[in-house]
Amino acid sequence: MVSTACPQATEIGVSILRSGGNAMDAAIATGFALAVTYPAAGNIGGGGFLLSRRSDGTITFIDFREKAPAAASEGMYLDEGGNVIGNASTLGHMSAGVPGTVRGLYEAWKVHGSRPWEELVAPAVELARGGFPISEELSQSLMRLEKHGAAFPALAIFRHENGAPLGPGEMLVQGALAKTLEMIASDGPDSFYEGTIASLMVEEMRRGGGLITHEDLRNYRAVLREPVKGVYRGFDIISAPPPSSGGVVLLEILNMLEGFDLASAGPLSSRAVHWMVEAEKRAYRDRATYLGDPDFIDMPVARLISKEYAGRLRSDMSEMSTPSSSLSQAPFDPESEETTHYSIIDGAGNVVAVTVTLNDSYGSKVIVGGAGFLLNNEMDDFSIKPGEPNIYGLTGGTANAIRPGKRMLSSMAPTIVLRGQKPFIVLGTPGGSTIITTVAQLIVDIIDFGMDPAEAVSAPRFHHQWLPDLIYYENDALPDSILGDLRRRGHDLRERDPIGDAQVIMIREDRCGASDPRGGGRSLGSN
């Protein structure tokens, strides 16, 4: 079964499974397909994380997060007065980090791939060359991109000659991207990091005043890391380690919630929402305080995800809201919502969870001339100034400060849940700072409230991230009676647009998948 945010990508993943490929083969083909069909977040110019578990119990985590160029510096987005320069870290060439996706997917192929590399990239080449019909969701996304057309004329590939955006049912053909993918298919990552594509990227940087050099590209490596692991009500949780904050914050939240009887409170009850929000506040406070790139800083990860620490955090929770301002210090010393996730399981029980991103929707809005792909704007995921929120409102500190060659902190949380040492749930979501709380809510909905995947991905969502001190909730997600009780407890609330686009597979006697109704994706089995 394959569950992605885009039907064409889902079908390509399933076709690989049907032809005898394993889950990792399908993940690689699906990743390249999303770079064609889901340009807002699917990519070869960004990065992400891949978590897999083979049927023999072998677990692999691949970090292909982007890195700061060698010429990057801590104050690069500040003016002479120390003030943040508007849009400098979010739009244009200076906002791009060194891309990791191509190296990451190639590393995944080396580790567990079983089909020829060229065979796995070929479907994406054909999609780019031959085109595909634009969905209603993609059409709406391209309309929102229109405001950037004047500043970034290369975005014209998504428009008609008269300037109107391509509409539903019309074909999106990407010839330059097809040629780029062909080179990647035939030459592997060398063409991207050292060959023709690398030269096109460096030339694009020179044209727009960006920082990425040939040396930055040659030096980029995907990294194998040890995932974070925990237990929630007897279920084993495996998730993303730093430089993602996803797994650490997820386990902190679940560890705190384990001390409350959520099942008796009921889903979306004021008690359940209150307890979850209080846990989220404390975990996101720790995110801002401690987490960053493990190659640059030491982090107390083992302590943060311990049951003992969760007990200490839980001990000062009450039936009333704890103001975020009073949580400014941890009790011990020591990333756009346009991301996309896909989940895969093959017939042998191998599972893969992958989350990739350009950061903001369509990343930096820069398309590499002659290569046809968008570059990320991941530099904004650094703490560009201590205490200054990024585009998702996340506040950071010195642990996530910009350094040359450093990977920026992420919220991506590809996650696998085991029951009795066998895969039970494979899940993840986009959503910037809301990724972690969405994954936590999905796990609680399934384990505590007994929902199936379709019910869980359809359930209303809410979110708290420590600062600002607000519960964000989806439009009409909470009834007036619940909102009133939460306000009586001292919470401030704000309504917002839909949260996330989750892709979930559950493995029981059968296998059932669910693609979030908030997006236009699809779950599909291979039989």
* Residues annotated as part of the active site: 339
The interaxial angle of helices 23-37 and 7-18, nearest 10 deg, is: 150
Residues in the chain, overall count? 527
Residues in contact with 129: Cβ distance below 8 Å, sequence separation at least 6, in sequence order: 173, 174, 175, 178
Name the residue type at position 244.
S
Strands 351-357 and 47-53: antiparallel
Q: 216, 70 in Cβ contact below 8 A?
A: yes
Rounded CA-CA distance 169/413 in Å is: 33
* SS3 label, residue 105: helix
For the beta carbon of residue 264, count every other beta carbon within 10 angstroms: 10
Q: 438, 431 in Cβ contact below 8 A?
A: yes
Residues in contact with 347: Cβ distance below 8 Å, sequence separation at least 6, in sequence order: 17, 526
Give the largest CA-CA distance in the chain.
63
Query: What are the backbone dihedrals phi and psi of residue 481, each rounded to the nearest 5 degrees, phi first?
Result: -65, -40
Compute the radius of gyration of the chain from its Cα atoms. 22
The interaxial angle of helices 175-187 and 23-37, nearest 10 deg, is: 150
| Structure tokens, 104 | 């990451």
Rounded CA-CA distance 12/29 in Å is: 7
